[in-house]
Amino acid sequence: MILTSLDARKFDPVVDGLIRNQQRQAELKKITQPQRDVLLDQTQNQSQLRLQDLKDQHCFPIHQVQLNGEMNAYFEKYLKQALKELAFSDGICMGEQRINLLMSQTQNIIIGQGYTTTRILVAPQNLSSGILKLTVIPGLLGEIKIDLSDNENSHAGRIQYVKNIFPIKKGEILNLRALEQGLENLKRLPTVEADLQIVPASIPNQSDVLVKWKQRTIPVRITLSADDAGSRQTGKYQGNVTLSLDNPLFRSDLFYVTFGKNLADQQSITDQDGSTVDSGTKNYAIHYSIPYKNWSVSANVSRYQYDQAVAGVNNVYNYNGESHNQDLALTRMLYRDNKRKTSMTVKGWHRSSKSYIDDAELMIQRRDIAGWQLDFNHREYVQAAVLDFAIGYRRGTGALAALSAIEEAFDEGTSRMKIWTVDASLQVPFRLDQQNFSYSSSFHGQYNQTPLSVQDRISIGGRYTVRGFDGGLTLSADRGFYWRNDLALSLFPSHQFYMALDGGHVSGPSSEWLLGKTLMGSAIGFRGQFKVGGNFYYDVFAAKPLKKPESFQNFDINYGFSTSYSF
């Protein structure tokens, strides 16, 4: 029995399943919740002229420029910005041309900040006093209305609670950034198409927003997916079926449940008495999320179960177990303009697992921990390129009757972990010799402030970290990073040929006895989608290790695929 336990630790289904399940759920999220950014860019071209570049025949020396009108204090900063950009100086002589330049520059700055219906005017006045007075007329929001003119086909009556969607209310200054946020909240569902128009209201200086919203007749999606990203011990081929309900509570919310299991190529061992033990995996996950203005709430529950056949001296044992994960997250959009946006997420989480040999629990492997996580995410738009950056802090606590980690006795791990993570990605589309290319790069790093249990360490080697390796053997340690790079050529719409180059490194006290600390690999492949009733996605590749420890067992070339069909 002791030998069996030791053999089982060579491949840990708990850790392997946890990592693979998290990676697979992240890929599933990209399909079920595609990010659809909205940029209602109304930026005006600001003048490169300065006031001194224009000459007025009739002018008056101006010592001060004032901004009058309702809410003038709020817009004062934009006038100051215009004065600085135009190099205004005390006593400058200003006539019609220079005044118009100052007025238009201030107007364009305000529009660039998203206040597209706010106007800057110059009222008749006596300039002999040396004071120039500009007047601001703020554009306010009237009503947000849903276009129900084609409700029979658009089903727009399903989304009546727009007050929960847009972070702006009647009478507030109309700003495109608030409309962008609301439109992203509406477009977050794949079965929905949404757009809006700003139209005149019946009240002066107010504008109504007319929302055009359309959802397909049956707001249900079924996604079937399969890949060969599983382990050889518990099943290399894995399949999932996902049922998604879009807008079930008519608030642009999302619910989905997914079930998965091994499909084939798992271990099965028969002992001398003819008793057979089959290996395999089963998992499910449930997700619900709902937006509320600049906020969103999401909840996730998942369970992973495994069985592994292990040959003993005279018998075959079933090394089995299960893990449970729950989390509740609250996200807040902190800032956005026409080139960037920043958000913050606070998450509470709970994770537990148990392992058995046949029906006898291995108490030494029981885990039950909880904690919180804080993440800051930033997205930057640089012309056609998109840059993402995220930093996170993960902390284990004693909440929910959490158990101490067995490694704490040896100072090799803790349930009160302190982990910093950094993620960055860059996507750059470009054209070369009449061909469409794209370059994408992503970086993930982890740094620990406490010793970490195996489940919390960073692992490299596999299709989701460093390609070129089958994932059967990985390098895992307290801290480290991996860097992935893809260069893709668009062959025809929705299909790409790509080449990849990845690298990763691990370090820290737990890496002392590893075979090595660095992996590098490459891959080539094809990916894309077909429209066949629904959407069929595919990715097939061949990967090769470029650098690995001498005794690190791996195939010279690894082939892999992943597919999904959503309808």
**Model confidence pLDDT, tens digit, residues 159-169:** 977 878 999 99
CA distances from 450 to 189, 226, 394, 396, 402 (A): 40, 37, 11, 10, 17
In this prediction, the residues of the chain whose per-residue pLDDT falls under 50 are 1-10
pLDDT of residue 37: 86
pLDDT of residue 7: 30
Name the token pair of 371: 């904690």
* Residues in contact with 156: Cβ distance below 8 Å, sequence separation at least 6, in sequence order: 146, 147, 148, 150, 212, 213, 214
DSSP element (H, E) containing 25: helix 13-32
**Angle ∠(10,465,528) on CA atoms, nearest 5:** 125
Domains with residue ranges and CATH for the chain: 51-137 (3.10.20.310), 140-215 (3.10.20.310), 366-567 (2.40.160.50)
Name the token pair of 244: 């998604």
Name the token pair of 81: 């910005």
pLDDT of residue 233: 81
DSSP state of 426: E
* Residues in contact with 209: Cβ distance below 8 Å, sequence separation at least 6, in sequence order: 141, 142, 143, 144, 145, 166, 174, 179, 196, 197, 198, 199
pLDDT of residue 458: 95
pLDDT of residue 43: 62
Going by C-alpha positions, the residue among 324, 448, 351 that lies closest to residue 405 is 351
Q: How far apart are CA 468 and CA 557, in angstroms?
A: 7
pLDDT of residue 42: 61
Name the token pair of 193: 């198409």
Name the token pair of 159: 């989304």
DSSP state of 129: G
Q: What are residue 219's DSSP bridge partners?
A: none
Answer whether 0.85 is exceeded by the pTM. yes
Q: How far apart are CA 437 and CA 428, in angstroms?
A: 8
Q: C-alpha 394: how far from its chain's center? A: 17
Q: How far apart are CA 271 and CA 277, in angstroms?
A: 9
Q: What are residue 261's DSSP bridge partners?
A: 239, 282
Q: Kindly provide the b/e burial profile for residues 444-470, where b requires at least 16 CB atoms within 10 angstroms of the residue's own CB.
A: bbbbbebbbbbbbbbbbbbbbbbbbbb
Q: How far apart are CA 223 and CA 217, in angstroms?
A: 18
pLDDT of residue 160: 77
Q: Kindly provide the b/e burial profile for residues 204-237, where b requires at least 16 CB atoms within 10 angstroms of the residue's own CB.
A: eebbbbbbbbbbeeebebebebbbbbbbebbbbe
pLDDT more than 70, % of the chain? 96
